[in-house]
Structure formats: structure tokens, C-alpha cells
Amino acid sequence: MPTTINPLRYPGAKRQLVPYISKLLTNNNLAGSTFIEPYAGSAVVGLELLQKGLIKKLVLVEKDVLIYCFWKCVFYHTEDLCKKIEDTLINVDTWIAMKPLRDIINPNDWDILELGFAGLFFNRTNFSGILRANPIGGIKQASKYKIDCRFNKPILISLIKRLSHLRDKVEINWDDAISFMNKAKKDFIREQCFVYFDPPYFGKGEKLYRHFYLSSDHRVLANFVRQNKHFDWLISYDDDPYICGLYSGIGAKYCPFYLDYTVSSGKRSKGKELLISNLPLPPVDLSMTSSQY
Ligand SMILES: C[S@@+](CC[C@H](N)C(=O)[O-])C[C@H]1O[C@@H](n2cnc3c(N)ncnc32)[C@H](O)[C@@H]1O
């Protein structure tokens, strides 16, 4: 199966790291392991590794109801989701009618298809894919970019159908990352696992995600990694002295890299980020990577 581009245009997506993480797994005899992403977002890394056949299984955890339901629909309600994409008018009236779905905090309180479609809809019609932002072009649609300019229905349907074939190898959980890890860690001792943590950014998480971390939450993640030594892990972060301080003294390896991303102004920018791991980290070469469509 050819490598698929992701249907979500996710803020902070780490597609550019896929070749690097592939190499990290192969260099450390971790190919064929279960790959866990406790902060799934677009899950672009895990999904591409799965498509390449580099991992056996992908376990996703996401706290945002709309993103969790979107992934559930991709794998378990594929045809219904695709039909809804085909049938829905992508305009400001639809955006306003769907806005209350952003207030649902429990996926069991609503129809999963409505919520899953809303995840895709707001991701692809809002500024920079930010779920709680306003629509591209604004409510008045006065800009030359209109609300539907990132919503190519045939491409989205084809990406979703392609990904849906992976359903037997993907597990999706609506949970808090650390609560999930605490519940599931006994299973990690039995099977070969690799955990890729990509938590909300330390600096701008609040602007990008509906769930974000306070300093104390970042500390909880560092303590979890410090106390649980029976699996290999990689963390990506924005480079900040507070974060480096959290991981000092546990023998972690650090490696800086510069991620190309689109800021809310629509301009391309490079952000200094950091990889942290218990494994040896070679320098990051992002020259082999491709950009989002
Ligand atoms: C940096 S983004 C992950 C991006 C992802 N790696 C990608 O390539 O698209 C962080 C994600 O963590 C989610 N998140 C925030 N708090 C969380 C929590 N406590 N537990 C699980 N997920 C959480 C956010 O909704 C967001 O999707």
C-alpha cells in the first residue's frame, strides 16, 4: 500500500519525523513492535509506520472528543463518514449549525458519526486546523480564502478509505495520556512496545489545542517516564529550559531539530524543538521529508 498523507491538517503534526523515527526503530531492533501514541492528534507518525509495515500494531490515545471520534469513524464507520463528507455543504451556515458540537465533552453523550465528522469539519475549515478557531475567511467570508478551500472531498474520502484498511491493527482510546499509560503499562512488559509521546507544546499548547498542559502536567509526564523503565520511549517538545530541567538526571539523550510549520498568520516558520529519549539519538536530518498537502 502506498504511503498515505493524513486527512487532518494538525497543528504540531510530526510527519517530518517519520523517516527519523523509522530509523530509530530499526537501529534499536524495535521494528515489529507495538507503537503507542498517548497524544495522538493526527497520529501521522504511527499511521505511516504502520503503512510501511515497520510496526505490528498502533495504539492511539486522545483526550479531545472530536479527534477521538474522528479516528473511531475512520476505522469503524468508514462508509457513513464518507457519505457524510459527500452530503454536507461546506459553508458558514453549516459551520454555525455545527458549532455546539464543540461543547460536547463526553463522546457517549452524542452520536459518534456527528462528532467524528465535526472533528474533520472543524479541522479542515478552521484557521490552521485549530478546532476552537474561527473558519478560514472569517464568519463574513470576506477574505480571498474561503471556508471550503482546504476541504477537498474526493481526496479526503480516498485517504479515509485507504486508512480504514488498517483497522485490525489500530486501537483507539479516549483517555488522558498518563491515566491510560498507568492502566496499560503492565501489558507493555509482556509485549515489545515503543512509546512516542508528543504532548501539547509547553509554550503555545493553549493556543493550539482544546486540551493543553500546565507546567505541573509536564512534570507528571516526566515523572512517569522516570519511574517506568521497562519500555523504550521518545518525546518531542518545544525546546525550553523548563522541559530540559524535567528530564535531567535520568540519563535521557537530547537532540534538537527545527520543524517547519504554518503559523496562524498562514506563513511558514521554523520552530526549535527537542527530541528526548532513553535511546541513543543520532542527529536529525529532515531533508528526506515531504510537506503536507
Ligand atoms: C502536539 S499534539 C500531537 C500531534 C501529533 N503527534 C501529530 O503528529 O499530529 C498533542 C495532542 O495531545 C492531545 N492532548 C492534550 N492533552 C491530552 C491528555 N491529557 N491526554 C491525551 N491527549 C491529550 C491534544 O488534543 C493534541 O491532539
d(CA 123, CA 210): 12
Ligand 1: centre distance to CA 64 (Å): 8
CATH number at 15-288: 3.40.50.150
Q: Which helix (H) or strand (E) holds 125?
A: helix 112-125
Of 158, 197, 162, residue with least CA distance to 12? 197
- With bands split at pLDDT 50, 70 and 90, how would you rate the model's confidence at 290? very low
Q: Per this entry, what is the length of the chain?
A: 293
Tell whether ligand 1 has an atom less than 6 A from the beta carbon of residue 21.
no
Q: What is the sign, positive or negative, of the torsion defined by CA atoms of 176, 228, 43, 162?
A: negative
Of 47, 58, 52, 55, residue with least CA distance to 13? 47
d(CA 210, CA 200): 10
Q: Give, using CA atoms, the residue closest to atom 7 of ligand 1.
A: 13
Tell whether ligand 1 has an atom less than 6 A from the beta carbon of residue 64.
yes
Where does the chain show beta strands of DSSP type E? 34-37, 57-62, 170-174, 193-197, 232-238, 253-262, 268-277
Q: Give, using CA atoms, the residue closest to atom 1 of ligand 1.
A: 200
Q: Which of 5, 59, 60, 62 to mutate to test the pocket of ligand 1 (most atoms within 8 A of CB)?
A: 62
Q: What is the sign, positive or negative, of the torsion defined by CA atoms of 72, 217, 286, 50?
A: negative
% of the chain surpassing 70 pLDDT: 93
Q: Which helix (H) or strand (E) holds 212?
A: none
Name which residue leads in pLDDT, 261 or 275: 275
Q: Which of 14, 37, 63 to mutate to test the pocket of ligand 1 (most atoms within 8 A of CB)?
A: 63
Q: What are phi and psi of 273, to 5 degrees?
A: -125, 175
Residue 264 has pLDDT above 60, yes or no: no
Q: Are 125 and 148 in contact (CB under 8 A)?
A: yes
Residue 22 has pLDDT above 90, yes or no: yes
Tell whether ligand 1 has an atom less than 6 A from the beta carbon of residue 196.
no
| End-to-end C-alpha distance for the chain, whole angstroms | 19
Q: Which DSSP category does 230 fall into?
A: S
For ligand 1, what atom is nearest to the CA of residue 41?
27
- With bands split at pLDDT 50, 70 and 90, how would you rate the model's confidence at 5? confident
User: Domain residue spans in the chain?
Assistant: 15-288
In this predicted structure, which of 28-42, 76-90, 267-281 has the lowest mean pLDDT? Answer: 267-281
Non-local (6+) Cβ contacts of 103 within 8 A are none
Name which residue leads in pLDDT, 112 or 285: 112
116-153 burial: b if 16+ Cβ within 10 Å, else e: bbbbbbbbbbbbbbbbebebbbeeeeeeeebbbebbee
d(CA 134, CA 287): 33
Q: pLDDT digit string (tens) for 152-208?
A: 999 999 999 999 999 999 999 999 999 999 999 888 877 899 999 999 999 888 899
Q: Does the predicted model carry a pTM greater than 0.85?
A: yes
What are the cell numbers at 135? Answer: 473558519
Cα-based torsion angle of the residue sequence 125, 131, 134, 136 in order, rounded to the nearest 10 degrees: -30
pLDDT of residue 291: 42
Of 227, 229, 198, 290, residue with least CA distance to 6? 290
Q: Give, using CA atoms, the residue closest to atom 12 of ligand 1.
A: 39
What are the cell numbers at 59? Answer: 495504539
Tell whether ligand 1 has an atom less than 6 A from the beta carbon of residue 44.
yes
d(CA 120, CA 25): 30
Q: Give, using CA atoms, the residue closest to atom 26 of ligand 1.
A: 41
Q: Are 232 and 195 in contact (CB under 8 A)?
A: yes
